[in-house]
Amino acid sequence: MKKLCTIFSTWMLLFSLLARGLAEDVRHEIHFPNLPDYKTLKCDFHMHTVFSDGQVWPTVRVAEAWRQGLDAIVLTDHVEYQPHKEDLSTNLQRPWELAADEAKKKKLLFPRGVEITKDTPPGHYNAIFLKDANQLKTKDFVEQVKRANEQGAFVFWNHHTWKGADKGRWQDVQTLLYDNKWLHGMEVANGSEYYPEAHKWCLEKNLTMLGNTDIHEPDLRRTTTAGDHRTLTLVFVKEPTLDGLKEALKQRRTAVWHKDRLIGSKEWLAPLFDASVIVERPHLYANKTLWLKIHNRSDVDIRLKKSGGRGPTEIFLAADGTSLVQIADVPSAEPMDLTYTAVNFLIAPKTGLPVTLHIEKP
Amino acid sequence: MKKLCTIFSTWMLLFSLLARGLAEDVRHEIHFPNLPDYKTLKCDFHMHTVFSDGQVWPTVRVAEAWRQGLDAIVLTDHVEYQPHKEDLSTNLQRPWELAADEAKKKKLLFPRGVEITKDTPPGHYNAIFLKDANQLKTKDFVEQVKRANEQGAFVFWNHHTWKGADKGRWQDVQTLLYDNKWLHGMEVANGSEYYPEAHKWCLEKNLTMLGNTDIHEPDLRRTTTAGDHRTLTLVFVKEPTLDGLKEALKQRRTAVWHKDRLIGSKEWLAPLFDASVIVERPHLYANKTLWLKIHNRSDVDIRLKKSGGRGPTEIFLAADGTSLVQIADVPSAEPMDLTYTAVNFLIAPKTGLPVTLHIEKP
Amino acid sequence: MKKLCTIFSTWMLLFSLLARGLAEDVRHEIHFPNLPDYKTLKCDFHMHTVFSDGQVWPTVRVAEAWRQGLDAIVLTDHVEYQPHKEDLSTNLQRPWELAADEAKKKKLLFPRGVEITKDTPPGHYNAIFLKDANQLKTKDFVEQVKRANEQGAFVFWNHHTWKGADKGRWQDVQTLLYDNKWLHGMEVANGSEYYPEAHKWCLEKNLTMLGNTDIHEPDLRRTTTAGDHRTLTLVFVKEPTLDGLKEALKQRRTAVWHKDRLIGSKEWLAPLFDASVIVERPHLYANKTLWLKIHNRSDVDIRLKKSGGRGPTEIFLAADGTSLVQIADVPSAEPMDLTYTAVNFLIAPKTGLPVTLHIEKP
Amino acid sequence: MKKLCTIFSTWMLLFSLLARGLAEDVRHEIHFPNLPDYKTLKCDFHMHTVFSDGQVWPTVRVAEAWRQGLDAIVLTDHVEYQPHKEDLSTNLQRPWELAADEAKKKKLLFPRGVEITKDTPPGHYNAIFLKDANQLKTKDFVEQVKRANEQGAFVFWNHHTWKGADKGRWQDVQTLLYDNKWLHGMEVANGSEYYPEAHKWCLEKNLTMLGNTDIHEPDLRRTTTAGDHRTLTLVFVKEPTLDGLKEALKQRRTAVWHKDRLIGSKEWLAPLFDASVIVERPHLYANKTLWLKIHNRSDVDIRLKKSGGRGPTEIFLAADGTSLVQIADVPSAEPMDLTYTAVNFLIAPKTGLPVTLHIEKP
């Protein structure tokens, strides 16, 4: 039968097309489980089109979101920076209008938004859930934010370390917005950047944490994987509607997926971890050693370090994978709790999430 | 922010390692849902090691099965063909003995087996769930099969078109085994080959259908995908134990995953389809057109052709993907049933599975 | 040393990023060798931007061409179809103007072009190497083609089977253009389509054969491979300049890479084959059998079928790969010629290129 | 034409099989250019089979080497450690004998070898180019090395930091071998490990540097890429024969490819760099800025840092890729030399190779 077998390995590759055949039309869901009381939406609230300095027509952003498994996106073209204006309309409603039908057909939540774009200070701010974006065409920054709030918008400070001598500093203008409850969140991650100070401020000041792409070019990713994904915001909603999304954002029920880690607060990373990690009952107890499987139902690789007691020093739970874990020096087959830190679930800068793995009796 | 963005696309690739990092140690489950009353096991009952004409030590087969997401495998080295015997033991129990511990640690079901290897007729037969493989070391073929059955084995005819003038024919010797209830199944697929006649005979004679790799070389696949997977047998068990596996095989509760299709009987492909395909309630009804999502929770791409009434002519449901389906000419927003054929769910040679997609009221 | 080794396979994946790190900025050349007297340029003469019904800003096309290894592209937005005109300039020079600097920095040949877009007949025509595209803004089709020719343009008929009752037929209007020498070529391939009739006509009427993408969406390919590449035109130039490119096109020195095959004339496919395939001197002669390596220096998989005499029935030469070839029944170690057909080098519809493989004395 | 285009992207993936179709039979060469006077061979001198503690039959190593593009391999099963001896022959000549025919057919250089396997000190040593491996079956270590040398072997010290209290130290026994000229080289890399001290000693003591896999399991790589490759030794030979290989090893003409870097001496990394990197004449000079392409003809990504003068701070030359380089502040269009360090061409521990990029007049 050897001949058959060498042919075998050949044809297997012959229909790999079918798996990926309609890659650009097929949607592949992003895997993060729902929480006990909330549905987990995968969202990107910051991106550009040809209507400011982006390189794609608005509908391209909808197609990208569909195939990559996003649930909500916002086009946030610059109010103040429109380098294509010699050739293109400057109507701030147009990007949304041109893509809204496609978004509806694809069941994407698609609030209206813009990026208010000032030199630092105050810097750049996204206002989303707008009704009439063109009303923000005024020079006065505080007036812009005020008008956005009057429309019921959710407003957040983008990439706060951008740009100039004052970059990265919290100044009077932010205090003014904050005291008026006109500022609701901050980007703790933008594209490749993570902002530990923003992370800290969000925890201290009760601001919502956001992670977005700020993408300008076409996104070449066909799908989403642990190793090649958008920076995005997980939002834990009661209902997957525009209102449900806004309510969750205002109540700060978010976590940010950035590179190989999740960024957020203990309040939301803990239940996300618990929903993602499934510890099986040990299937073997021999020579005072337990053998068991642990499943990771999320698209993020999870890295655990032991913080005390029994168990291996490190456990690696690959995205959507199953790990075989061996616990040595177990005197008798009883249930036990292992204490670990999920080092890439950041509940504060440089601080991993403490977790407990409950091991049943084999 | 453009600069950030070009850097962005760079780092994304930087940690792709983590997704795949421990690729050879991580297990990735194969996605076929359980049925309402049965657990779906992914199995390969035919493979070789250095102890006959294979190229790997027995433990390699266990490692392959683990990382590729299999639940049960059997090493089936040839009784009669041992080209390495000048250098290697010919004890037929050894392959199993050398890998059994690894299989137990990895929670694989790992029955003992051999391949009885005669010229055609009668051809090659696997006997699995053996107690003492060495008892089959006798020249008389019928005696071998009898002894295997006395040990409680499950016996099936391999790649029946192999080899010589009489290949592919059902002859007296098969009738003898069959009448004695010593022959329980046939390979309907082996590696790259599908045998329509075996498919037909299994349906007519109530034999169990099996699909296996018959692999001799190392398997280079790191994981399992729709486009690059083992030929394997899905077994629908009441309990994921050795006894549960044998009971299910004897009761013919199997389906075969071969290339881009499933092969089996209507009895088992129908519930597998129903468990795999999730039709969402339509999210949009406009211009007499419905828009809805259909999810495919299995690792096989599913190809549907309309057999009558409303709906698109063809629907492609990518493995583990979501398709957007548009139904035109819908006069009013009422529930409806669409009738299709799942053309790559073969319930008989050249015969797809008829299916109904129930569409709820939007 | 086993422990080291299992870790080993892990880290190997850890820096796979570096290979692909700057994937969007790095150019990967397409591998087709130069011919003895000509340089081989890889070209796409048909694509769209937001300035007609495309989805990307003109600079995106330059970025795609750079990273995928193209040498020349032309933006060919529709003269008559501008669905974004409510928002966007209709100046036919703008797409070129907006991307010309980027093209120059990246050393791409970047002639000006448009697509003349009429109902069938006459259908759609690209005019490239224009000086002033806006001069083609007139309703009369023949006048448009005449003006293009007065500017020195190269004019070709696109996807001739598109669309309506008269599609695919050569009619009086084509004869008029042809007799005036205003029509220089035809697309024999457009995206996924191959037009055997166009192939035949080009051979009969001495028209230049072209293969293009006609792409409207962003191109997600990061690079070019045998299995996932643009439909493109190879142009055999004396000099890699705009003039050299036009001279070669007018002299019909082209071949088309479409899916898994090359399309063209024997005149140009024969030297391309000879430059691509390197037959090594046999390294082993034993048991009246020769063993030798054959290298394929191109990005297309080459499939050979024996047309007589010695050698294996089929030889597969994978793109950029080396095949081991075994020639049996060789009575003595003398040089010999093997006669094959390169079945996927189409010198006419359904007609492969006859080739000779010269085998040296071992 | 939009419809065509969405279909287009689909079929492209349909024949990706062809590129990879016979992946396990096709050889893909590893790209490192020859040097002006030497041919560059890609070699792995350390690997195991079932005949010691490896997991594969000897022929598997030949198949791996063929498809991954290696030119020479040596099977080096342990003399003193044969855990399969209960089932398998302990004849040290057998691994070579069983695979030699396959190696010859595939034109691989295939010297005989073993690994002398002692506790530390002295540790593990490979003896390659043996005539009769079984003559090394004696307990006395120095006697073993002496006998190997009497057979004309090339002997090197493996992974010198392995294992025990004395690991990693140069002791009397090494001095004894060295003074007798019985020790010719050291592994500076083994699998995932790099040994800076071995690197330093090789430079000081004129020992040959080697990098090997020490692989025990099947190698799952289908081919070789910058991001996923074997640790291997480049050997610069006058002739690609067994004698040529041994002469080059004894003359220390090697470099080691380990992870994302090359390890060696300036003497051989400098010409390898020069042969790999092709600087094109600048194609654009505008605004006192030069634009030019740099090609990297090797399979290693090359990272350059400016060590003075003009040019970008860093230049990244992706494996087999082309980079676009921009040189600012160039007052006039004259030739110039840029001085850089190739930081991942290690000519000593933590020391990159100094290089000059000569820029022609545009």
For C130-158, write each residue's pLDDT tens digit. Answer: 999 999 999 999 999 999 999 999 999 99
Q: Are strands C185-190 and C193-194 parallel, antiparallel or unpaired?
A: antiparallel
- Write down the pLDDT at residue D294: 98
| Closest chain A residue to D26, measured at CA | A10
Contact flag A20-D6 (C-beta cutoff 8 Å):
no
Torsion region of A159: left, alpha or beta (phi above 0 gives left; psi -120 to 50 gives alpha): left
Condensed to tens digits (0 to 9), the pLDDT of residues A141-169 reads: 999 999 999 999 999 999 999 988 889 99
Nearest to A322 among B5, B29, B217 (CB): B29
Give D4's contacts in chain C (Cβ within 8 Å). 159, 162, 190-193, 214
Distances (CA, A) of B284 to A24, B70, D41, D358: 22, 40, 63, 63
Contact flag D19-C319 (C-beta cutoff 8 Å):
yes
Beta bridge partners of B200: none
- Whole-number Å distance between alpha carbons of C113 and C212: 14
Contact flag D16-A16 (C-beta cutoff 8 Å):
yes
Nearest to A24 among C59, C87, C220 (CB): C220
How far is the alpha carbon of A247 from chain C, nearest alpha carbon, in Å?
34
Give A291's contacts in chain B (Cβ within 8 Å). 105, 107
- Write down the pLDDT at residue B10: 34
Q: Is the pLDDT of residue A102 over 80?
A: yes
- Write down the pLDDT at residue C289: 96
| Closest chain A residue to C223, measured at CA | A220
- Write down the pLDDT at residue B18: 33
Confidence of residue D164 (pLDDT cuts 50, 70, 90): confident
- The stretch A214-239 carries a mean pLDDT of 96
- The stretch C196-216 carries a mean pLDDT of 98
What's the token pair of residue B320? 């583990």
Give C220's contacts in chain A (Cβ within 8 Å). 24, 218, 220-222
Chains contacting C (3 or more CB pairs within 8 Å): A, B, D
- Helix-then-strand count for chain B, H and E: 9, 19
First to last CA, chain A: 42
- Write down the pLDDT at residue B15: 36
- The stretch C89-118 carries a mean pLDDT of 98
Q: Which residue of C50, C61, C64 to mutate against A (max A Cβ within 10 Å)?
A: C50
Of the candidates A246, A256, A144, the residue with the CA atom closest to the CA atom of residue A196: A256
Provide the angle, in degrees to the nearest 10, between the axes of the packed helices A58-68 and A94-105. Answer: 30
Condensed to tens digits (0 to 9), the pLDDT of residues C230-249 reads: 999 999 999 999 999 999 99
Nearest to A19 among B158, B301, B326 (CB): B301
| Closest chain C residue to D25, measured at CA | C323
Q: Is the pLDDT of residue A104 over 70?
A: yes
Contact flag D12-C228 (C-beta cutoff 8 Å):
yes
Residue type, position D359, single letter = I
Other beta carbons less than 10 A from residue C337's beta carbon: 11
How far is the alpha carbon of B286 from chain C, nearest alpha carbon, in Å?
23
- Whole-number Å distance between alpha carbons of B227 and A237: 36
Q: Which residue of D8, D14, D222 to mutate against A (max A Cβ within 10 Å)?
A: D14
Contact flag D104-C284 (C-beta cutoff 8 Å):
yes
Mean pLDDT, rounded, of chain A: 93
How far is the alpha carbon of D266 from chain B, nearest alpha carbon, in Å?
29
DSSP per residue over D92-161, as a string? TTHHHHHHHHHHHHTT-B---EEEEE-STTT-EEEEES-S-GGGG-SS-HHHHHHHHHHTT-EEEE--TT
- Who wins on pLDDT, C225 or A21? C225
Q: Is the pLDDT of residue C9 over 90?
A: no
- Write down the pLDDT at residue A163: 87
- The stretch A284-307 carries a mean pLDDT of 97
Contact flag D301-C18 (C-beta cutoff 8 Å):
yes
Distances (CA, A) of D342 to D270, D310, D324: 10, 16, 17
Per CB distance under 8 Å, which residues of A are interface residues toward D? 6, 9-10, 13-17, 20-25
Contact flag D222-B217 (C-beta cutoff 8 Å):
no
Beta bridge partners of A289: A286
Alpha helices by DSSP H, listed for chain A, are: 2-14, 16-20, 58-68, 94-105, 141-150, 172-179, 196-205, 242-250, 266-276
- Write down the pLDDT at residue C24: 56
Condensed to tens digits (0 to 9), the pLDDT of residues C257-276 reads: 999 999 999 999 999 999 99
- Whole-number Å distance between alpha carbons of A217 and D271: 39
**Percent of chain D topping pLDDT 90:** 91
Tokens 């597998």 found at: B272
Contact flag A17-D20 (C-beta cutoff 8 Å):
no
Residue B115's contacts (CB-CB under 8 Å, 6 or more residues apart) are: B46, B48, B52, B76, B77, B78, B79, B124, B125, B126, B158
What's the token pair of residue A63? 């197609």
pTM for the full predicted model: 0.94
| Closest chain B residue to A10, measured at CA | B192
- The stretch A194-212 carries a mean pLDDT of 98
| Closest chain C residue to A17, measured at CA | C227
Give B226's contacts in chain A (Cβ within 8 Å). 16, 18-19
Q: Which residue of C220, C259, C303 to mutate against A (max A Cβ within 10 Å)?
A: C220
Condensed to tens digits (0 to 9), the pLDDT of residues D177-219 reads: 999 999 999 999 999 999 999 999 999 999 999 999 999 999 9
- Write down the pLDDT at residue A3: 39
- Whole-number Å distance between alpha carbons of D148 and A289: 45
Confidence of residue D27 (pLDDT cuts 50, 70, 90): very high
Residues C301 and C229 sit within 8 Å (Cβ to Cβ): no
Confidence of residue D24 (pLDDT cuts 50, 70, 90): low
Nearest to C14 among B10, B17, B24 (CB): B17
DSSP per residue over A195-256, as a string? -HHHHHHHHHHTPEEEEE--B-SPP--SS-BTTB---EEEEEESSSSHHHHHHHHHTT-EEE
Of the candidates A276, A239, A225, the residue with the CA atom closest to the CA atom of residue A255: A276
Contact flag D16-A21 (C-beta cutoff 8 Å):
no
Chains contacting D (3 or more CB pairs within 8 Å): A, B, C
- Write down the pLDDT at residue C16: 35
Q: Is the pLDDT of residue A18 over 50?
A: no
First to last CA, chain B: 42
| Closest chain C residue to D53, measured at CA | C2
Contact flag B60-D55 (C-beta cutoff 8 Å):
yes
Nearest to C56 among A55, A84, A87 (CB): A55
Residue D226's contacts (CB-CB under 8 Å, 6 or more residues apart) are: C16, C18, C19, D260, D299, D300, D301, D318, D319, D320
Mean pLDDT, rounded, of chain C: 93
- The stretch D39-53 carries a mean pLDDT of 98
- Write down the pLDDT at residue A12: 32
Q: Is the pLDDT of residue D91 over 80?
A: yes
| Closest chain B residue to C8, measured at CA | B22
ipTM tops the 0.95 cut: no
What's the token pair of residue B88? 């290697």
- Whole-number Å distance between alpha carbons of B128 and B74: 7
- Who wins on pLDDT, C207 or C6? C207
Provide the angle, in degrees to the nearest 10, between the axes of the packed helices C172-179 and C141-150. Answer: 20
Alpha helices by DSSP H, listed for chain D, are: 2-14, 16-20, 58-68, 94-105, 141-150, 172-179, 196-205, 242-250, 266-276
Query: pLDDT tens per residue, chain B (362 residues)?
Result: 333 333 333 333 333 333 333 445 899 999 999 999 999 999 999 999 999 999 999 999 999 999 999 999 999 999 999 999 999 999 999 999 999 999 999 999 999 999 999 999 999 999 999 999 999 999 999 999 999 999 999 999 999 999 888 899 999 999 999 999 999 999 999 999 999 999 999 999 999 999 999 999 999 999 999 989 999 999 999 999 999 999 999 999 999 999 999 999 999 999 999 999 999 999 999 999 999 999 999 999 999 999 989 999 999 999 999 999 999 999 998 999 999 999 999 999 999 999 999 999 99
What's the token pair of residue A141? 């920054």
Q: Which residue of C6, C10, C12, C25 to mutate against B (max B Cβ within 10 Å)?
A: C10
How far is the alpha carbon of B138 from chain C, nearest alpha carbon, in Å?
37
Torsion region of B84: left, alpha or beta (phi above 0 gives left; psi -120 to 50 gives alpha): alpha
- Write down the pLDDT at residue B24: 57
How far is the alpha carbon of D56 from chain B, nearest alpha carbon, in Å?
4
Contact flag D24-A6 (C-beta cutoff 8 Å):
yes
Question: How many pairs of residues across B and C have Cβ atoms under 8 Å apart?
Answer: 39
- Write down the pLDDT at residue D232: 98
Sign of the dihedral through C-alpha A229, A234, A239, A245: negative
Question: How many pairs of residues across C and D have Cβ atoms under 8 Å apart?
Answer: 200
Tokens 């969750």 found at: A248
How far is the alpha carbon of A5 from chain C, nearest alpha carbon, in Å?
18
- The stretch D170-182 carries a mean pLDDT of 97
Give C16's contacts in chain B (Cβ within 8 Å). 13, 16-17, 20
Contact flag A50-C57 (C-beta cutoff 8 Å):
yes
Contact flag A16-D17 (C-beta cutoff 8 Å):
yes
Contact flag D55-B56 (C-beta cutoff 8 Å):
yes
- Write down the pLDDT at residue D7: 34
- Write down the pLDDT at residue B163: 87
